[in-house]
Amino acid sequence: MKICLAQLNYHIGDFVGNRTKILNAIAEARTAGAHLIVFSELAVCGYPPEDLLDYPWFVEACLNSVQEIAESCHGISCVLGAIAVNKGKGRALYNAAYLLKDGHIASVQYKSLLPTYDVFHEARYFEPAPSVHPVDVEGVCAGILICEDLWDQHNDFSYSRVPLSDLTSQGATLLINPSASPFQVGKAMKRKAVLKDNAQRFQMPLIYVNQVGAHAELIFDGNSMVVDAHGNVVLEMPRFQEALAYVELSSEGIGAEHEPSESPEYLHVLSDALVFGIREYCTRNGFKRLVLGSSGGIDSAVVQTLACKALGPEQVQALLLPSRFSSEGSVADAVNLCQNLGNPYTVIPIADVFDASLNALKPAFGSLPFDLTEENLQARIRGQLLMGWSNKFGHLLLNTSNKSEMAVGYSTLYGDLCGGLSPLGDVYKTTVYALAAYLNKQGTLIPEAILTKEPSAELRPDQKDSDSLPPYEVLDAVLKLYIEKRMGAASIIAQGFDHVLVNRVLQLVNRSEYKRFQAPPVLRVTEKAFGGGRKMPLVARYD
């Protein structure tokens, strides 16, 4: 049996576009002689549809699309992810995989394990499958399990059900896994281990089809694959791009025409993910051009470089907004960066606006000393000018804050926290430096002076980040233990960190939640990003 893996990019709610893409893939696979084509989880409506599932018109449109696609399935079978209606007790819907053949719906399999953690909220919408059963696909006894159904023992917890055991006991000899598995650094290795473990544990070949695309914070990398009954990867599809691929299933096993390629280094994958996320966000929201504040610092330099890769340098407008505290070197570095990248830039000094603001506030402030208020005022002036440019010319404003800054609140609301998208909001400062060095391997794009200068917001004379924060190597290590590993203060201190430093850092994180609540969407690239995957109370006492 020749099987086609359809790794496609779906748009949530675009039933016409998704249906057309699916029908075109079916036609191409049929022409190539495929007997079966497999699509990803919720391919018809896009994943994750979230509260759109509460709207009857959305459900009806999805079901109508499934029926129309089924009618086109002649001469080929199809496994298609979509929703199904629950006519019994419980939640109104199922997360389903349809088997389509001979112009109709042959069978439907529901998802058993509904992830309800981090960015997943499936129990909010779906009822779990009461049972699972194999289906006949071109004479092969196949088990269809949807995404999480293979992760019964591969999370921080174990599920009480093992759907694959039920299928094996009923005679399944091929496993098909339509998925919507979001990207994060290191996820590919873990995902591959899960697939290989299941194939070996139950001694059957496994077909895993993931979607590709990005929906605001979530990036889907594709990287679909096929594993044989011995746990060997026989096909691995590309990351961040649509593709169709084929494997042959015979009595001797399963195989593909091409050997899987080696996995690239993590900075390569991280760079590709961020570029892809920026491009996808712009495409899906109708933005053709970008604007950002270029300060001559490392964060804005990396965002600017990624943006130029995403849309092309001619579509990225840099605004240089020097204040009286900006060094000549920073302005020169920002200009050099723009020249290296080939993107347009405009210099708008903010000294006059700052002075005017101080004069307006002088009757109220009187002789009070210069402090954080005046520092933040400069950041907000920059935010105002950047948003003005965005409004006037229709550019999407990219935020340039990194995860370390967002964690401890080292950013100004309505100032440098402005933006429609935060590419680096899930990238720690130390990783930003590593990413900059990697980007420069392709030719010197980011000036050496930006890589080597001491970080500074330049909002007061001789200001340095180290005046307010621990060294980033130490800060990031503590933050990772607290945010990603969810350790408390005592456990982090037991790792060898100073107790005063740990308590201070954790206090900064906890007291900055209100800022992150108002921050732009963050491209998720780690196991625990700020945004939908980390829900913390705004009003609580847990320092």
Residue 543 has pLDDT above 70, yes or no: no
Helix (H) / strand (E) element for 165: namely: helix 163-169
Q: Verify that 217 and 275 share a domain, yes or no.
A: no
What percent of the chain has a predicted confidence (pLDDT) above 70?
Answer: 99
Q: Verify that 448 and 397 share a domain, yes or no.
A: yes
Domain harbouring 75, CATH code: 3.60.110.10
Q: Lowest-pLDDT range, 138-142, 324-328, 442-446?
A: 324-328
How much is the pTM?
Answer: 0.94
Residue 148 has pLDDT above 70, yes or no: yes
- The domain boundary residue, chosen from 257, 279, 314: 257
- Block residue for tokens 């070949």: 205
Write down the catalytic residue from 4, 21, 41, 458.
Answer: 41
Q: Verify that 172 and 295 share a domain, yes or no.
A: no
Burial class (CB within 10 angstroms; exposed 0-12, middle 13-18, buried 19+) of 356: exposed
Number of structural domains the chain divides into: 2
- The domain boundary residue, chosen from 211, 227, 257: 257
In a domain, 495, yes or no: no
For the chain, the straight-line distance linking the first and the last C-alpha, in angstroms and rounded, comes to 60
What are the angstrom distances between the C-alpha of 209 and each of 94, 138, 227, 400, 446?
A: 19, 19, 12, 34, 37
Nearest to residue 527, comparing CAs of 147, 213, 155, 203?
155
Clarify whether 309 is annotated catalytic: no
pLDDT digits (tens, 9 = 90+) for 242-288: 999 999 999 888 888 776 666 678 899 999 999 999 999 999 999 99
Q: Verify that 101 and 10 share a domain, yes or no.
A: yes
In a domain, 487, yes or no: no
Q: Verify that 235 and 308 share a domain, yes or no.
A: no
Q: Verify that 9 and 152 share a domain, yes or no.
A: yes
Write down the catalytic residue from 111, 309, 403, 480.
Answer: 111
In a domain, 523, yes or no: no
In a domain, 478, yes or no: no
- DSSP 3-state of 72: coil
Clarify whether 41 is annotated catalytic: yes
What are the angstrom distances between the C-alpha of 432 and each of 96, 305, 426?
A: 40, 12, 10
In a domain, 500, yes or no: no
Q: Verify that 204 and 283 share a domain, yes or no.
A: no
Nearest to residue 214, comparing CAs of 531, 523, 526, 530?
523
In a domain, 371, yes or no: yes
Residue 383 domain boundaries:
268-469+512-517
Clarify whether 73 is annotated catalytic: no
Q: Verify that 198 and 70 share a domain, yes or no.
A: yes
Mean pLDDT estimate for the chain: 95
pLDDT digits (tens, 9 = 90+) for 231-246: 999 999 999 999 999 9
In a domain, 318, yes or no: yes
Residue 457 has pLDDT above 80, yes or no: no
Write down the catalytic residue from 4, 45, 73, 147.
Answer: 147
